[in-house]
Amino acid sequence: MEKKIIIATQNLGKLKEFEIALSSFFDTFLSLKSFNDQDEVEENGMTYQENAHLKAIYFYEKYHLPVIADDSGLEVSSLNNYPGIYSARISENDEKRRKIILNKLDGISSREASMITHLTYMDDTGMYDFEARVEGKISLEEEGDQGFGYDRIFIPKGYSNTFSCMQPNEKLNVSHRGNVIQQLIQFLKEKSYE
C-alpha cells in the first residue's frame, strides 16, 4: 500500500530536503502546494514546538494523513537571540530577511548564532516531537546559491562556508533540519515502518 506523508509547508526547498532524507519510508510526499492549500495556520505559539504542533494538528485533522510540521529559527547571540521564533516573519521574503540580519550586525564582531528546528510528526498513533540545534556564525555577506531561508548567511561550526555553499546531501549531514530528520528516521525504524 502506498505510504503518503504531508509536509506542512509551502516551501519547495524544505519539501525537497524531506524527500531526499525520507524516500525509503514514504512513497509520496505532499506539500500544501500539492493540495493547492493556501490555509495559513497562525503561528502564534511562544516556542518552536508550539508552532509545529499548531500546524501538525491542523493539517492532520484536515486530511487524515501522516503529517510532518516543523518550525525553525535563527538565533543571533549578540542580538539577544533575535529573530528566534519570528525568523520567518520579520519580512516578506528570504532575501529581505537575510538583509535585515546582515544590517543589524554591521560593525559587530561577535557573530555567533544558532539554527534550531523543532519537528512534529503526527499520525493515527499520536504526536511525536524532535528538536535539534546547530551552532555557528553569521557570514559577513551572502554566500552560495543552494538552499533557502538563512542558508546564505549561516556558517555552521567547523566549516568555512555557509549552508548555501553545500550540496543538499552534505547540508543534510550537518544542518539542524538534517539532524532532526535523523532523529525522525530512528523513530520510524523503531516504529517498524521499513
What are the catalytic residues? Answer: 71
> What gap in Å lies between CA 72 and CA 136, rounded to an integer?
15
Within 13 Å and on the Cβ side, how many CA atoms surround 117?
24
> What number of other Cβ atoms are within 10 A of residue 39's Cβ?
12
CA distances from 55 to 61, 86, 89, 103, 115 (A): 10, 15, 16, 31, 20
CA distances from 172 to 17, 18, 180 (A): 7, 9, 10
Q: Which of 135, 129, 131 shows the shortest CA–CA distance to 75?
A: 135
